């Protein structure tokens, strides 16, 4: 009787131990699976974060390179602007120096021409004598006449000695002297160049204009000058023609 009880108790303990071992095994398996799943999720998240960081680093690198290139372009543009400004300043200074040199040369030429004209005009002039010949004459004041039909050329009025005799010096103020005039300098509107005489008076729809002759060598300037660009000089013996 006692032996049967001991055997039953021993079998019960063995069953309990087996159940405990199975439960412990199942628990270990479940814990291992849980740990493996957690580790897998953690590794996946770490890999994803690493990829995001790599993409962000690449984008930052590209942005930095583009920014550096734009900064370099801006620096080159600033250098070109600086060079252009320096060139403009140098050009302005050179133009100013050249303008001053031209004005000085014109002033010196004017003084020499005046001196040569005064020296040559002391004993008077005669045609064919080798000196300069001064043409005189006048053009009557008044409204310009219409040119003939079909004629595109302006009406030209030649200056004759007879017309010259009709307008002695000291006449109306609306006249300009023939021999001894000054012309406005094209480089400087306030500067006048002397040593010229009136070679021809032209009347057209623009009014009265003058063709000038250089007194030093007799060269006629091809350009026609208006009364605003021509003025007479002071010697009282010079003849006059109308300005308007």
Q: Are residues 9 and 68 in the same domain?
A: yes
Q: Are residues 91 and 191 in the same domain?
A: no
Which residues does 195 contact at the CB level (< 8 Å), separation at least 6? 109, 110, 113, 114, 117, 214, 215, 216
Segments forming the whole domain that contains residue 67: 1-120
pTM above 0.75, yes or no: no
Q: 146 or 15, which is more confident?
A: 15
3-state SS track over 65-132:
HHHHHHHHHHHHHHHHHHHHHHHHHHHHHHHHHHHHHHHHHHHHHHHHHHHHHHHHCCCCCCCCCCCC
Position 204 scores a pLDDT of: 81
**Is residue 22, in this structure, part of any structural domain at all?**
yes
Report the DSSP pairing between strands 220-226 and 179-184: unpaired
**Is residue 26, in this structure, part of any structural domain at all?**
yes
What are the helix and strand counts (H, E) for the chain? 2, 8
How many structural domains does the chain have? Answer: 2
Element (H, E) at 201: strand 192-204
Q: Are residues 15 and 81 in the same domain?
A: yes
Does residue 98 surpass a pLDDT of 70?
yes
pLDDT digits (tens, 9 = 90+) for 101-139: 888 888 888 888 877 777 765 544 444 444 444 454 445
Q: Are residues 114 and 164 in the same domain?
A: no
Does residue 237 surpass a pLDDT of 60?
no
157 phi, psi to nearest 5 deg: -115, 115
Q: What is the CATH number of the domain that holds 206?
A: 2.30.30
**Is residue 167, in this structure, part of any structural domain at all?**
yes
**Is residue 207, in this structure, part of any structural domain at all?**
yes
Of 120, 135, 164, the residue that ends a domain is: 120
């Amino acid at each position: 009787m006692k032996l049967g009880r001991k055997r039953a108790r021993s079998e019960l303990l063995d069953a309990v131990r087996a159940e405990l071992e199975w439960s412990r095994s199942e628990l270990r398996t479940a814990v291992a699976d849980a740990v493996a799943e957690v580790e897998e999720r953690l590794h996946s998240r770490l890999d994803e974060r690493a990829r995001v960081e790599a993409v962000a680093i690449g984008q930052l690198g590209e942005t930095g390179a583009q920014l550096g290139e734009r900064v370099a372009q801006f620096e080159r543009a600033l250098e070109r602007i600086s060079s252009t400004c320096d060139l403009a300043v140098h050009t302005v200074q050179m133009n100013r120096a050249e303008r001053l040199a031209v004005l000085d040369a014109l002033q010196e030429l004017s003084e020499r021409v005046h001196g040569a004209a005064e020296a040559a005009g002391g004993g008077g002039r005669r045609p064919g004598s080798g000196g300069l010949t001064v043409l005189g004459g006048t053009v009557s004041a008044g409204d310009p006449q219409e040119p003939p039909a079909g004629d595109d050329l302006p009406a030209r009025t030649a200056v004759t000695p007879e017309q010259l005799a009709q307008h002695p010096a000291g006449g109306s103020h609306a006249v300009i002297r023939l021999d001894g005039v000054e012309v406005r300098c094209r480089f400087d509107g306030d500067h006048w160049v002397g040593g010229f005489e009136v070679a021809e008076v032209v009347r057209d729809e623009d009014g009265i204009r003058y063709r000038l002759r250089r007194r030093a060598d007799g060269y006629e300037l091809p350009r026609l000058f208006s009364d605003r660009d021509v003025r007479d000089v002071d010697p009282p013996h010079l003849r006059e023609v109308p300005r308007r």
